A and B are shown apart, each in its own frame.
Chain A
Amino acid sequence: SQELEQSPQSLIVQEGKNLTINCTSSKTLYGLYWYKQKYGEGLIFLMMLQKGGEEKSHEKITAKLDEKKQQSSLHITASQPSHAGIYLCGADAHSGGGADGLTFGKGTHLIIQP
């Protein structure tokens, strides 16, 4: 089965600094999703990547999928208190189509220090 490893597990960053979160898969990624979760709440969809080398940005967050489609990174520029939370990567189980549920990493806890 596919496993997703996220690093780091937790991150404390001073407000205004940049940061990167990584998500590495044991198998080829057919669809990679980034979500954000505030403690005790549901997941908010951020971005989806499917093609090798793909890069997407929204406001100050950029996500990339490497050419081999086994690693993704999430980069936040000039971090703000609103960026604090848990970031999770999720992946489609296989390429065969259908909605079989996602495999998730364990999450990265991000704390922004004023």
Chain B
Amino acid sequence: DGGITQSPKYLFRKEGQNVTLSCEQNLNHDAMYWYRQDPGQGLRLIYYSQIVNDFQKGDIAEGYSVSREKKESFPLTVTSAQKNPTAFYLCASSPQGLGRPQHFGDGTRLSIL
């Protein structure tokens, strides 16, 4: 079955540490996205990528970095510069163009030790 796989489901970060969240899709979608979800704030866009080797900052990119070396993969690194990283992170993908719904993974919950 096609879908989006996020791993790990739970992740803990120590002070000053970088951590990487994995997102893999086998839907053959061109576009991929990372969102952050905090209680009472809905989803906010961190980064997105419309094609391989290209990505754009979203609304809250500071303290995060991404890469898009393969169509199937869009890992997100939460750097030590992100001072409030505790949140639920959601990865999504979609075909190119308007009117194409995004499909979401099951999320990764990141907490600070």
Contact = CB atoms under 8 A, between A and B. Distances in A.
B43 A92 contact: no
A1 B45 CA distance: 13
A41 B106 contact: yes
Contacts of B98: 30-31, 50, 92, 95, 97-98
Contacts, number: 75
The majority secondary structure among interface residues of chain B is: strand
Interface string B16-60: 000000000000001101010000111111001010000010110
Given A31-B98, A102-B45, A45 B103 contact: yes
A48 B99 CA distance: 8
Contact of B45 (A30, A101, A106): A101
Interface string A30-53: 110101000011111100101000
A42 B45 CA distance: 15
A44 to B, nearest CB: 8
- Which of B41, B99, B107 has most chain A Cβ within 10 Å? B99
12 contacts: A1-B59, A30-B98, A31-B98, A33-B102, A40-B107, A42-B6, A42-B106, A45-B104, A99-B48, A99-B94, A99-B97, A107-B42
Interface of B: 4, 6, 30-31, 33, 35, 40-45, 48, 50, 56, 58-59, 88, 90, 92, 94-107, 109
